[in-house]
Structure 1
Amino acid sequence: MKTLSIAGVTETTASSNIHKTGNHPLGKDDFLKILVAQLQNQDPTKPMEDTQFISQMAQFSSLEQMQNVSKTNSLQQAMMSIGNDVKADISNGSNGQELVFGRVVGVQPKGDDIYLTLDSGRQIKDSEVNTLMGPEGMLQEARNLVGKNIYLKNPNGPGHGKEVQVINEKTNTDEKGRTQIELQTSDGQAIGMKDIWNVAADTGKL
């Protein structure tokens, strides 16, 4: 199951996994391999009956159709996020967890995954998004950061950079009439939400 918080509302979508082996879904390709292996290793004196073969092929066809429908539904849901702000929590291995904020401007399927293109140019998996925000969602996120310590993104590579405290937030309107959020930090910087790596555990004053 996948749970997605949308502007204070929680939506749960059903998983498309029909069968599982261990912790991995048994997909149509796995099903076909099993069927081929059965045919190759069947007893020549007791071949698979037509009805049994037809039944297994029907199951394969049904599984394929259900997975295709699930993929189409996931793509449609991702397309509906275009134009909305999102918040994602991304694991970066030894570099820790990264918060990513941005507005979705495009959707691109890649293999079994669906990627969202943000206004910063960055692409993230739709499965990494934990909040799809309403019109005031990003502003509320910014206000919640006031008084907290945050890590900035490292300008020289992966991982976080320096720790600063957010002391104020304000909004500006750019040349295209879009609202831009600006955070003022304890070291005199004015940063955007995209410059944040994560919220520091210690939120006391620096």
Structure 2
Amino acid sequence: MIAGVNEKTGQPLALERVPKKTLSRDDFMLLFIKQLQFQDPMKPIENNEMAMQMALFSQVDQLFDLNQNFEKILELARDFSLSATTSLLGKTVKVKGDYGRVEGGKFLGAEFELEEPAQGVEVVITDEQGRLVKRLSLGSLPAGKHRVEWDATDENGNPVPDGNYRLRVILPGKNPQDTPSLLVTGRVTGAVLGDTPQVVVNGQLLLKPSEIERVFTESS
């Protein structure tokens, strides 16, 4: 029931009934009792019909119990997912992306895979402003996986500041869209908690925990 107040007279308005959108098990029981109270005494409910309605009520009651159990399971799963997501904070991970990371003067690492042999392969490294930092000439490479070996220095051999750097694999004669994607090693720097938890890698890449290829331990 909802009641309001007349703005002119200040008197309470008549109560307004708001129908329910869903029925509870108590509502079903109340309907069943009302049906028994107002049944036609000349045509009472048959035994088989009574048994059928009792069976249906039992099924409804079980469905309510199942719904409550499912809600508890979903809540537990959500709590576990949030806990697992927050436990990744600060971890070193391997993910698909094009931004590698330098920490403590060391490049954390990156790798790519060639489907066929290639010649004149290069890796171009730029800073977050798009300025060229270094070109790595890898020469001719066979098909397969290859690591990007970078000593975290610029073109002049000077150490670069810690931070994120974009890497692009260049294959002569290939369109940029056809170049291989990279797996970069980065740091989980944040988390977004909600219905679908996500992690922030290297301060900018937003991913689901399931998109992480590998989580490194301190020893590894």
TM-score (norm 2): 0.36
Q: Based on CA coordinates, which of the two structures has the bigger radius of gyration?
A: 2
**Superposition TM-score, scaled by structure 1 size:** 0.38
The structure where strand makes up a greater share of residues is 1
